[in-house]
Amino acid sequence: MAETPKIELFVKASDDAESVGNCPFCQRLFMILWLKGINFTLTTVDMRRAPDVLKDLAPGSQPPFLIYNDEVKTDTNKIEEFLEEKLAPPNYTKLGCRYKESNTSGQDIFRKFSAYIKNPNPGLNSMLEKQFLSTLVKLSMYLDTPLPHELDQNPNIAESTRLYLDGDSFTLADCNLLPKLNIIKVVCKEYRNFDIPRELKGLTRYLDNAYKQEQFRYTCPNESEILIAYKSVAKYLTK
């Protein structure tokens, strides 16, 4: 058996430098490594007091970055591809999606959320909220639609019962989307008193199941960290 690689993941530190900070890309890689079932070192980086050794490792880079057997990698997408290739079955869990549609589901949500939450004008709020909500509806519809393997098992099924985007196991797509949905949940509640509607059954089922999994729940930053990160960009509606 090949020697186990030595892996260190560097992620953004919290505001008090005591835990993980708000960074969906950091959380994405944290989840991937945890799901792979490999031992790795997690190092939080306080960019206000970043030690010289980190500047030497990845000059000019922001977390996340990864050291894999002394090789430094700084591009999140390339790190994901690299880990999926290197940490493959039979020794490690495959995280790639079965269906290509799962990779792109929800890809427009964060952009619409950003426009919604950064707008200070009450006159535009309703329009922006509808545009944002439409992306949540679209994701929920995908989660409600049975996947081909579900239809193979039960051709008469009208609504999917799967746990996650691509089936009943976390995939790379979930590691990408869930950290963003967690940010959305926290920020929308604070700045718009907006909750993801429970009427969106597919999305509600998805989030309820996701928060039960330690690989997601325990990699989430504290809600206070998310609000600190958005304090300078999110806008309360002006009266």
Average pLDDT, stretch 67-82?
Answer: 95
Average pLDDT, stretch 122-134?
Answer: 97
pLDDT of 1 reads 55
Confidence of residue 49 (pLDDT cuts 50, 70, 90): confident
Note the pTM of the prediction, 2 decimals. 0.95
**Percent of the chain whose predicted confidence (pLDDT) is above 70:** 96
Residues 6+ apart with CB under 8 A from 188: 113, 116, 117, 194, 195, 196
Average pLDDT, stretch 161-188?
Answer: 98
Higher pLDDT, 48 or 136: 136
The mean pLDDT value of the chain amounts to 94
Which candidate, 95, 99, 103, places its Cα nearest to that of 32?
A: 95
Structure tokens, 59: 């000059």
Which candidate, 5, 7, 15, 33, places its Cα nearest to that of 219?
A: 33
pLDDT of 52 reads 65
Which candidate, 167, 168, 165, places its Cα nearest to that of 178?
A: 165
Does 1.20.1050.10 match the CATH number of domain 100-231? yes
pLDDT of 224 reads 96
Amino acid identity of residue 38, one-letter, is I
Average pLDDT, stretch 138-161?
Answer: 97
CA 71, distance to chain mean position in Å, is 25
Torsions phi, psi for 172 (to 5 deg): -60, -35
Is there a shared CATH topology between the 7-86 domain and the 100-231 domain?
A: no
Q: Is the pLDDT of residue 61 over 60?
A: yes
Instruction: Sketch the domain layout of the chain as residue ranges.
Output: 7-86, 100-231
Confidence of residue 57 (pLDDT cuts 50, 70, 90): confident
Confidence of residue 53 (pLDDT cuts 50, 70, 90): low
Which candidate, 32, 13, 38, places its Cα nearest to that of 79?
A: 32
Structure tokens, 81: 């591809």
pLDDT of 64 reads 94
Fold classification of 7-86 (topology level): Glutaredoxin (3.40.30)
